[in-house]
Structure 1
């Protein structure tokens, strides 16, 4: 069994005058939400053997804020393929994860992350958390899954269970529902 945690980048600032979407930084609430999620990671003693992340500025800043709050050293493998990737591309990236990595954290963007959950977790009515994802996968939200595989190269659709879906507003009511 392998563990996969997905983290959608925190809320970015649309008011910043950047030329490319790739360069958009986090806004104030996004930084706060990322820190809240970092504290959650620390409280729940989550650790990751490998971190695969988009190199977009908002992902970099999300991980910096998570790292500060969790006291974990975040040493991601930056992969441009994750930036605005489809579920199929994200599956390919995961197939290339280190074979010895038992728990992988992937940090990226929607709609790819949301679609990846839909592809990995069967829609059989047994996962209330999956139903929450169908409603919305807000920024800075963690989705934790267990995969019925022994090797990342073997990842396929419908091989996962969604164990926990944690939104910033679940941890800090001031970050919801107008947050995202």
Structure 2
């Protein structure tokens, strides 16, 4: 049995209102387009989550909504306040409580880039991987049937993409 993780950093957010709380910042137009592109990319590859673990920030929720619009099925969405600016260790702890076969996590830097680097056995060749820019999405497989057994450096990279590669 295999488990698959789709790890997505939220798409580009708006800084139009400097008085707005960080957690409330929405996506900007570029971010909305990127989220839709990511959804189409995932759907075209058959990488459809059955469970989504999402930070409760506005920009992560909106990223999910943009992705979800392109998917045929609607997986269970679980808003996880612990994923808001979570460290890599917190992200791993949250993942270990997942129940889906294909789980999507949507979060923030710097934690998500550290999590991505530590969860894979070997980093993808893409130069953007270590920066993990907005919208960056990693698809990784694990040789296990229980998320509780997932640990650092076990994941096999299936794919990695950043939104601008989808529009190039």
Q: If the length of structure 2 is used for normalisation, what is the TM-score?
A: 0.91
- C-alpha offsets along residues 16-65 of structure 1, whole Å, 9 cap, x if unaligned? 35531000000010001111111112212221121100010001111111
Q: Tell me, which stretches of 5 or more residues in structure 1 are unaligned?
A: 174-180
Structure having the larger proportion of residues in helix: 1
1:87-134 Cα distance to aligned partner (Å, 9 max, x none): 000000011111xx21111111111111111111135xx7424x5412
Paired residue for 1:128? 125
- Consecutive unaligned residues in structure 2, runs of 5 or more: none
Aligned to 2:61: 60
Task: Say how many residue pairs are matched.
Answer: 167
TM-score, scaled relative to structure 1: 0.86
Q: What is the alpha-carbon root mean square deviation over aligned residues?
A: 1.7
Which residue does the alignment assign to 2:150? Answer: 155
Residues 4-153 of structure 1 aligned to structure 2 (within 5 Å): 4-98=5-99, 101-123=100-122, 127-129=124-126, 132-134=128-130, 136-153=131-148
CA contact (8 A) 1:10 1:58 kept: yes
